[in-house]
Amino acid sequence: MLAMLPGSHLGNISIGIDTTTGADNLSKFLRIPFAGYAALAATSVGAVAADRVALPYVQPTSGWIVSIGGTARLGPEYLGSSKFGFSGSPSLSFRRQGETPAFSAPEDGLDYALLQTQSFSFGPVAKFQSGRYSGSDNKLFGLRDVPWTVEAGAFVEFWPITDRLRTRLEIRQGFHGHHGLIADASADWVERIGAFTLSGGPRLSLANGSYMDRNFGISPVEAAINGVVTPFRAKGGLKSVGADAALDYQWSRVWTTRTFVKYERLVGSADNSPIVRAIGERNQFTFGVGATYSFAWGG
């Protein structure tokens, strides 16, 4: 997720015309009647005045707009879980004063654009994933814990239709809980109606064998201890498909709120795992609300 104070500035243009110095001599020399000279001068001054109206002065801006916020979620306690739990995450973004706030979807990672144009951006991205712990669900008895994970990598974003259709790809490597590689692809249609912004679109996620086996694999020992699940070795490939939808409302220049829903359908090895088939759920729903506060800094 790097979203309100539009602005721009133009230099103040001043133009002066001296219509008095040497007017009589000039009129006499060129034999132009005084009345005609006065009319010509009035026309010139009027043209300059019109130019000044066409280029209004706007107060220059400088510094940054910083946006801080947080999101609360109600969703699966762990990947593939049939039980719901609460979680939360902070958000931070900043932009130059005068720049339009960048669009971000609810489940975008925390990113920073190293290269950015009107339709393309690229840079590093990071995301936090909560873990799976056997103590949180009796059905997980005997299965290994999967601690929380920080995933870091890169993102690329492209707008085929400026300010309307956004496509995004994140590729991240896990550290701590899992050490697998995951790729999330998404597309969002963005519709702005007054203070409202409605967005949403399809989602697709792939992961390598290390990620899949860590989250969905079951060893023979674990299966024997648990007694419900059977041994299973998960393979890399397509992990899930789904969709997101979000509604933002800008209450003022500083406050924005968001509500969203996410649907994820586990597929492939993830869906075939006994962790999902025997004790979990392939259909994963997440509901969330968030708020963002923006303020000027510097300048």
Domain containing 219 — which CATH number? 2.40.160.40
CA angle 167, 71, 249 (to 5 degrees): 70
Q: pLDDT tens across 104-151, in order?
A: 999 999 999 999 999 999 999 999 999 999 998 999 999 999 999 999
Q: In the structure, what pLDDT confidence band is assigned to residue 99 with cuts at 50, 70 and 90?
A: confident
What pLDDT, on a 0 to 100 scale, did the predictor assign at position 170?
Answer: 99
The distance from CA 238 to its chain's CA centroid, rounded to whole angstroms, is: 24
CA 297, 124, 260, 91 dihedral sign is: negative
Q: In the structure, what pLDDT confidence band is assigned to residue 235 with cuts at 50, 70 and 90?
A: very high
* Nearest residue to 95 (alpha-carbon basis) of 61, 69, 63: 63
What are the φ and ψ backbone dihedral angles of 227, each rounded to 5 degrees? 85, -10
Give first-to-last CA distance, the chain, whole Å.
25
| 30: in domain | no
Is-contact 225 85, C-beta < 8 A? no
Lookup result for tokens 């979620």: 73
| Number of structural domains in the chain | 1
| 49: in domain | no
Is-contact 131 146, C-beta < 8 A? yes
What pLDDT, on a 0 to 100 scale, did the predictor assign at position 238?
Answer: 98
What pLDDT, on a 0 to 100 scale, did the predictor assign at position 95?
Answer: 83
| 121: in domain | yes
* Nearest residue to 243 (alpha-carbon basis) of 187, 196, 164: 187
Mean pLDDT for all residues in the chain: 84
Q: In the structure, what pLDDT confidence band is assigned to residue 18 with cuts at 50, 70 and 90?
A: very low
**Bigger pLDDT: 230 or 95?**
230
**Bigger pLDDT: 14 or 144?**
144
DSSP 98-165: BSPPPP--TTPPEE--SEE-SSEEEEEEEEEE--B-GGG-GGGTTSPPB--EEEEEEEEEEEEETTTE
Question: Per-residue pLDDT averaged across 147-164, rounded?
Answer: 97
| 228: in domain | yes
| 163: in domain | yes
Q: Which domain holds residue 134?
A: 64-297
Determine the Cα–Cα distance for residues 109 and 112; give it in Å rounded to an integer. 10
| 14: in domain | no
Other CB atoms within a 10 A radius of the CB of residue 233 amount to 13
pLDDT reading at 11 higher than 70: no
Structure tokens at 96: 């130059």
| 151: in domain | yes
Q: In the structure, what pLDDT confidence band is assigned to residue 185 with cuts at 50, 70 and 90?
A: very high
| 16: in domain | no
